[in-house]
Amino acid sequence: MVLKEKKIRVNLKEKSYDIFIKPSIILSCGKYIKNLNIGKKILIVTQDRIPKQFISNVEKSLETEGYKTFTLVLPSGE
């Protein structure tokens, strides 16, 4: 069984947004963010319990799409 991408729309009038669900989406998150037409610098805020490989995957995906990334690791619970 192949899982396809699923999009859920959160309707909040002018603050509406989409949530995308897809296996291994973290590897292509840069493509989704690119569609937002935001600046080219991104701050990734995470906590110290998140495996470094996940953070690295996000950084690589963003950098592949031309973003400059900065990462801030906070202690758990902050």
Using one digit for the tens of pLDDT, what is the confidence trace for 9-63?
A: 999 999 999 999 999 999 999 999 998 889 999 999 999 999 999 999 999 999 9
Residue of 42, 50, 41 lying closest to 73 (CA atoms): 50
Angle among Cα 40, 5, 51 to the nearest 5 degrees reads 60
Residue 52, token pair as written in the block: 């470094």
Residue 56: per-residue pLDDT: 96
pLDDT mean over 56-72: 96
The pLDDT of residue 35 is 87
- Nearest-Å Rg of the Cα atoms of the chain is 14
**What CA–CA distance (Å, rounded) separates 62 from 64?**
5
